Structure 1
Amino acid sequence: MAASGSLKRNLGLWSIVGLGLGYMTPTVVFDTFGIVSDETNGAVPSAYLIALIVMVFTAFSYGRMVKVFPTAGSAYTYTRETMSPGLGFLVGWTSLMDYLLLPMVNCLIARLYMESLVPDAPPWVWVVLYTVIMTAIVAVSMRGTANLNGVLLVFAVTMVTLFCIVAVVNLTNGDGSGIVFSAEPFMHEGVHMSALLTGATVVCFSFIGFDAVTMYTNEAKHVNLMPKAILLTVLAGGAIFLVASYFAQQLFPDNSQFNVVDDPLPEIGLLTGGPVFMGFFLAAAFAATVASGLASHASVSRMLLVMGRNGVLPRKAFGYIHPKAHTPMFNIILVGAVCLLAMSFSLEFISALINFGALIAFTFVNLTVIAHFAFRTRQVVDVKSAFNYVVLPAIGAILTGILWVSLHETALIGGVVWLAIGVIYLAVLTRGFKRTVRSFDDPEADAEMSEPEAKPEAEPEPEAKPESV
């Protein structure tokens, strides 16, 4: 394989936030609305509120760790460097399940949209066409990917905003509950906390993406942008989900008006604003799906890149960066190949597996803050540092743990099977655990992965260096 290049540092704050929001797919709130409304007995906004609270705590942990380890790799890198290389691999392997499957989910959703528009065409045509176009765009340029993602994201957010405006008009005219502002969508008779927690595990699928922005650390103009980008992505995405789900719940207090509960987005558009509005609404949903496809495809290829550069995946293939495009070409093509499986699986099954991997990653990122600051570098010296480095991440770990145990059985079984495969692979890689994962490291490969950072306007305070593992 040709000599490898490096990732290019050309992403600013809003480009990174846009990629995160694009990954999160703002219109997904309407795709899952019927399922979550049924699960929570008409309290979808509460499920989103619970999930948002959990994600805010976790976002703080991601922000702290990305400054300590300013490289792509996310939960894999943080666990590897603060706890154990072997455990880090298993966390990364589990995270790969949701990162690899998310591009496929977007391909699957795009296929479903196209099937509804052109029912006579064979489904595989849309899967292949979508995959080829997405793979080509991501492979050519990260800057171009971010720009196209931004255009699609603006269109999707505009249509979600328009939905909320039309919903207010309809509520004022007596449709749905007939009330614009009410606490009913959050809590009313028949709503139970156990059901809300289960609903929150479902809507966690909507938030996956804020953590993925850490994959662009090596392409950010400066690492100081990353903590702010992570928090802004969570808060902006959470606000969109909360407001949109609130007005949807007020317009549709139950699922009695939907013929298709599993994905009522087209019917929500039709019942809210008529056929013309539904057309634009579907177009926005398709745009959001494409934006998410671009962002998720780009991010997982970078996680594979880090694992390749670390040697836990074959370095020559997974660690390769195209010298002209500055993108991990092999990984991008591999993710495209995985997307082709969208011809075979159902949306419900794949989304369940994604939540398993995501919640494992979120839990361990919170734990790595405690491991690094409290034990490895011993920076917990007063009440303030104890609050920041122990209490906050501990709350985040507990909350994500609660959501994890509330997952559906399908997600738990599928996740455990995937984890078992990872354990077997690790055993083979380390010759029955006789070699340490660290023995595969190549410091030069890690150092060459990205271009040097541009000098920031103000020098950041130096972080304590982690001890060698």
Structure 2
Amino acid sequence: MEQTAHTIDTGNSLKVSLSTKDLVIYGITFMIPVAPLAFYGSFLTPANGMVALAYFIGMVAMLFTGFSYATMAARYPYSGSVYTYVQQGTNAGLGFLGGWGITLDYFLIPTITYLMSESFGNSLLPGVPGWVWIIALVLINTGVNILGVNIVTKISWVLFALQGIVLLAFIVGTVRLLILGQIQFQTISFYNPAHFNIQGVLQATGIVIVSYLGFDAISTLSEEAKDPHHSVGRAIILSIISIGLLFVVITVLAGFVAPDYQNLDPNTAFLGILQRVGGPWLVKLADVSIILSFGFASGQEGQTAISRILYAMGRDGILPKPLAKLSPKYHTPVVAVVLVGVFSLILSLSLSINTVSNLVSFGALFGFILLNLAVIWKFFIQNPEKGGLNVIKYVVSPLIGFGVSLWIFLSLDINSKIVGIVWIAIGLGILAYRTKFFTQKTPSLDFSNKD
């Protein structure tokens, strides 16, 4: 099936303003450095305490997939992420399915961040109803996203600093307890010989993967980045390595403080660890950091990322054209931003955090699998580039990314698979409708004459 090619209207484009540093901080903040503080308890049971191992496997999987992203970003520095990369690497139909799949997770990410902020907000200010937190966060984040990604990145820098203070206090406090001999070195978070179960670790990794999605979000900002051919790929790799190592260190130290992980309350596991390390002041500081980081930083950036994917699909014509409408003043996809805000509000008010957490990752992993295969097809099979280094870059690395992503994908919770399959089926239905049951060309953009 051939593609219908449309050209980009360069007079109606997104605003270019982001440096490599902005992209790295955007990605890291999206991935939420304090995420283990909120999710640690939910990973303990399936991973049998080996939360650091789950984060490490997730980092390896995302790193090799990140190399594939960097390859595609250098060749196709445009908004749309998996949608654009798979479309240009294979064909428009597969590109749409890959992009459609990852939008499932992006719709759920703002939802899970709002529900997490509501949960910790209720513990901090129990007199404020949960729906007030959610509505306030959605309205503020939608407004900020309409104003522009440069405002989002400025907020990201501030909240990144706040999270850094919390984590530094935890690390220093843990080292102090080690020096005083009040806690001991443990391997429990990385290897628990008494209860080692790789299937359980992979189940936890499937949920952990959502913590790494910020690197994909970086690629959605390609058309708003300075020197996107180089800066986007660099930012993707730097963000994966930085946040992955941080997650591993934080959860390893948590195992030092609380090797008795079975006795921790799953809902407040890391807060209990912070209580042991620093006392009530550190717990309160962490509460504030989690509320702001999930509700504002990740909530805003999740809305930014999916609005750019919807913008790219609307611009191509595979989804309704109004999604590509930009604000004349701020050069932001205002229709897509508002649509995501409405959906996030509805989902956040109707779903529980446990339900949403069990549904994430299907779409991302589905997209990662297609993307890695697209790199092999585009750069090794269709247009082979000779040389041993190219074999590593265009075959070995994406094959590893593909294999690890598929491994985790097959280990996902059954509910996640069911919802994911239904979502992909809906995407197939849209594709069939737009191509009159695959008898017409799939809409796509022609990037061949772009720099």
Cα distance in 1, alignment partners of residues 288 and 352 from structure 2: 22
Q: 1:320 aligns with which of 316, 325, 336?
A: 325
Distance 2:306 2:336 in 1: 8
Which amino acid in structure 2 is aligned with residue 393 of structure 1? P
Per the alignment, residue 375 of structure 2 pairs with 369
- Structure 2, unaligned runs of 5 or more: 1-9
Code of the residue aligned with 1:158 in structure 2: it is: I
Secondary structure of the corresponding residue to residue 210 of structure 1: helix
* Counterpart in the other structure of 2:190: 186
Q: What letter is aligned with 2:422?
A: V
Query: Measured at CA, do residues 447 and 384 of structure 1 come closer, stay the same or move farther in structure 2, by a change above 3 Å?
Result: closer
In the alignment, what sits opposite 1:466?
none
Asked whether the equivalents of residues 4 and 323 of structure 1 are also in contact (C-alpha less than 8 Å), the reply is no
Q: Displacement, 1:174? A: 4.3
Structure 1 runs of 4+ off > 4 angstroms?
none
Alpha-carbon distance in structure 1 between the residues aligned to 2:85 and 2:315:
15
Q: 1-side partners of 2:277 and 2:136: how far apart?
A: 32
Partner of 2:233: 227
- Alignment-mate amino acid for residue 188 of structure 1: N
Structure 1 residue 184 displacement after superposition = 4.1
Give the stretch that moved more between structures: 267-276 or 366-375.
267-276
Matches within 5 A, 1:8-407: 8-175=15-182, 178-180=183-185, 182-189=186-193, 190-223=195-228, 224-259=230-265, 261-289=266-294, 290-315=296-321, 317-340=322-345, 341-379=347-385, 381-407=386-412
Cα separation, 2, equivalents of 1:301 and 1:39 = 33
Letter in 1 for 2:388: V
Q: Aligned-residue CA RMSD in angstroms?
A: 2.0
Contact 1:156 1:287 in 2 (8 A): no
The 1-side partners of 2:35 and 2:260 are apart by 18
AA in 2 matched with 1:403: I
Shift of 1:447: 10
TM-score normalised to structure 1 length: 0.89
Does the residue aligned with 1:353 lie in a helix, a strand or coil?
coil
TM-score (norm: length of structure 2): 0.92
Q: d(CA) in 2 for partners of 1:398 and 1:369?
A: 14
* Maintained 8 Å contact 2:53/2:190: yes
Q: 294-303 or 182-191, which moves further after superposition?
A: 182-191
Note the C-alpha offset of 1:94: 0.7
3-state SS, counterpart of residue 32 of structure 1: helix
SS in 2 for 1:354: coil
Aligned-partner Cα distance in 1 for 2:360–2:403 = 20
Of stretches 18-27 and 79-88 in structure 1, the one that deviates more from structure 2 is 79-88
Residues in 1 aligned to 2:154 and 2:11: alpha-carbon distance in whole angstroms: 25
Identity score, percent:
31
Give 1:193 shift.
Answer: 2.3
Partner AA of 2:60 in structure 1 = I
The verdict on how the C-alpha distance between 1:184 and 1:120 changes in structure 2, with shifts beyond 3 A counting, is closer
Shift of 1:240: 1.2
Letter of the 1:14 counterpart: K
Matched letter for residue 139 of structure 1: I
The answer for unaligned runs of 5 or more in structure 1 is 454-469
Letter paired with 2:21: W
